[in-house]
Amino acid sequence: MDKAIKNIVIVGGGTAGWLTCAVIAAEHCANAENGMRVTLVESPDVKTIGVGEGTWPTMRGTLRKAGISETEFVRECDAAFKQGAKFAKWVTGEDDDAYYHPLVLPQGYSEVNLAPFWQPHADKVSFADAVCFQSHICEQGLAPKQASTPEYGHIANYAYHLDAGKFANFLQRHCTQKLGAHHVLDHVVAINNDETGDIKSVSTKHSGDIEGDLFIDCTGFNSLLLGKHYNIDFKSCKDVLFNDTALATHVPYEHQQSPIVSHTVSTAQKAGWVWDIGLPTRRGVGHVFSSAHTNDEHAEKELRDYIALSRPDLAESLDVRKIDIKPGHREKFWHKNCVAVGLSAGFLEPLEASALVLVELSAAMISEQMPATRGTMNVVAKRFNDKFTYRWDRIIDFLKLHYVLTKRTDSDYWIDNCRAETIPNELSELLELWQYQSPWHQDFTHVDEVFPSASYQYVLYGMGFKTKNPPTLRRSMNQQLAEQHMQKNHALTQKLLNGLPSHRDLINMIKQQGLRMAS
């Protein structure tokens, strides 16, 4: 129990494995003589999932902490800037049905809840447009910063769209060449326990046994250590989130300099939705759907019809890859001296890019709370399990919110999604509450919520939800403050529309000259 934790073994070299490796190796000085030893074992025989192109703004902090230059990252990972998501056809399914979930918080978010003051104007201006400038700049294809803004600095909060394969390779080079991580390219064939039931080592095909104090399972859907070796139960949430299959493809631009869209576009279909992610050299497009409500053939046709709207010349000839999804997560994530990060811990449909942010949050907590001894590991493990069970539950609620307010009745998929028995209790309670008061800080109790009340406001009011806030609220002291913030938003929007470069121009500039380092 007093044994010091010095030797970390990560199994799996997808985005989860390399991101976790980068965070731990950087923070625990793996390249110094007395630093922690960090080894990543990756099979040459099992491919990475190869998707996962949308991120969350936390990625900026994660890359920065790992000592990565943003210029190098943009150049080498075919990365572009993501400023939120636009949801099309989720409410009525008509062509003019769309709303934004931007990454910038509503104006004055720390001072006053603007929702009740926007509501009387709801038929003239959308919530996102009234309280935030970002939807306006997204509509115009503008970048979230200027060429002179330093690395990782922003004018509008942003995340990235990136090429998943290039990102894993880039992180591998950074971890092995700069951060002192050890890389073993070999297939793990056995997992060996010590007499206490902890993992002592993993056996590989050609490189012998690799011993460690803490093992991080990043083996993707295989979940080799936590799932297969320790048999930790999988909690399915297919009764809430129905989508269980994805079809993914890459769509070339018509011209090398075609505009790059700076938000993920999620377009609802009959039994699922299509994602559309703009990178500098291509788009990543895919259809996530429920196999209980449609079949592969129909889903592929809907995907090709969607692509044909922009590339009729290519829509029928593109290769499409099928990926099976099991929505849900492990009963717990940290067991004995093994913790799962990434797909091995679980997966929910990629509607709000919540998978990589969970990888970052997991890596950050493991690294920050790295147990000094085997004894204290049990304390950290319990806290980790509590925290991440809460996070998975809240993410399930937030994803379900996108479905439950639809007015679509054109297929069983949309009808079934609104059935009361498919809606988690916590979400049902909040929806009841929000009939009479707008979502606000007290609704979510953790300081580090993945989705704050602002995210709920954007989706709730984007979907046309009405709150009957008491009329006295609007006559309160806050009225003047709210009006000032909405005016400020209007002025800021005009200023930024005139001052920001196009997204494509900023990417070109970064490729040619690079961004200034932050001071």
Ligand X SMILES: Cc1cc2nc3c(=O)[nH]c(=O)nc-3n(C[C@H](O)[C@H](O)[C@H](O)COP(=O)(O)OP(=O)(O)OC[C@H]3O[C@@H](n4cnc5c(N)ncnc54)[C@H](O)[C@@H]3O)c2cc1C
What is the binding site for ligand X (CB under 6 A)?
A: 11-17, 41-43, 46, 48-49, 51-55, 164, 187-188, 218-220, 222, 224, 246, 248, 286, 323, 325, 342-344, 350, 353, 355-356
- Cβ closer to ligand X: 335 or 485? 335
> Measured from the CB of residue 226, what is the shortest distance to ligand X in angstroms?
12
> Measured from the CB of residue 249, what is the shortest distance to ligand X in angstroms?
11
H/E stretch holding 159: strand 159-161
- Cβ closer to ligand X: 187 or 407? 187
Q: Looking up tokens 């192109």, which residue turns up?
A: 53
- Give CA–CA dist 322/50, Å, rounded: 12
E strand residue ranges, 186-296 = 188-193, 199-204, 209-211, 214-217, 234-236, 245-252, 264-268, 272-278, 282-289
> Measured from the CB of residue 192, what is the shortest distance to ligand X in angstroms?
14
- Cβ closer to ligand X: 224 or 338? 224
Long-range Cβ pairs for the range 308-315 (8 Å, 24+): 310/251, 310/254, 311/251, 311/252, 311/254, 314/251, 314/252
> Measured from the CB of residue 277, what is the shortest distance to ligand X in angstroms?
7
- Other CB atoms within a 10 A radius of the CB of residue 495 amount to 12
- Give CA–CA dist 400/316, Å, rounded: 32
- Give CA–CA dist 407/182, Å, rounded: 53
> Measured from the CB of residue 43, what is the shortest distance to ligand X in angstroms?
3
Query: Count of alpha carbons within 13 Å of 488, Cβ hemisphere only?
Result: 11
> Measured from the CB of residue 473, what is the shortest distance to ligand X in angstroms?
37
> Measured from the CB of residue 246, what is the shortest distance to ligand X in angstroms?
3
Beta-carbon contacts of residue 469 (< 8 Å; ≥ 6 apart)? 115, 116, 119, 436, 437, 438
- Cβ closer to ligand X: 155 or 351? 351
Q: What tokens does 469 get?
A: 């806030």
- Cβ closer to ligand X: 113 or 245? 245
- Cβ closer to ligand X: 333 or 434? 333
Question: Beta strand pairing status for 328-330 and 234-236?
Answer: antiparallel
- Cβ closer to ligand X: 53 or 302? 53
- Give CA–CA dist 215/11, Å, rounded: 7
> Measured from the CB of residue 328, what is the shortest distance to ligand X in angstroms?
13
E strand residue ranges, 218-367 = 234-236, 245-252, 264-268, 272-278, 282-289, 321-324, 328-330, 334-335, 338-340, 346-347
> Measured from the CB of residue 94, what is the shortest distance to ligand X in angstroms?
26
> Measured from the CB of residue 264, what is the shortest distance to ligand X in angstroms?
7
- Cβ closer to ligand X: 42 or 276? 42
**Secondary structure (3-state) at 277:** strand
- Cβ closer to ligand X: 137 or 210? 210
- Cβ closer to ligand X: 66 or 515? 66
- Give CA–CA dist 92/273, Å, rounded: 14
Long-range Cβ pairs for the range 487-490 (8 Å, 24+): 488/107, 488/108, 489/107, 489/130, 489/131, 489/132, 489/133
Query: Count of alpha carbons within 13 Å of 265, Cβ hemisphere only?
Result: 21
In angstroms, what CA-CA distances link 130 with 68, 120, 493? Answer: 36, 12, 10
- Give CA–CA dist 37/43, Å, rounded: 20
In angstroms, what CA-CA distances link 274 with 53, 146, 242, 285, 367? Answer: 14, 30, 15, 7, 35
Do 271 and 300 meet the contact criterion of CB atoms below 8 Å apart? no
Q: How far is CA 101 from the centre of its chain?
A: 13
> Measured from the CB of residue 228, what is the shortest distance to ligand X in angstroms?
9
DSSP 229: I
- Cβ closer to ligand X: 137 or 320? 320
> Measured from the CB of residue 2, what is the shortest distance to ligand X in angstroms?
31
- Cβ closer to ligand X: 138 or 162? 162
- Cβ closer to ligand X: 137 or 288? 288
> Measured from the CB of residue 504, what is the shortest distance to ligand X in angstroms?
21
Burial of 94 (0-12, 13-18, 19+ CB in 10 A): exposed
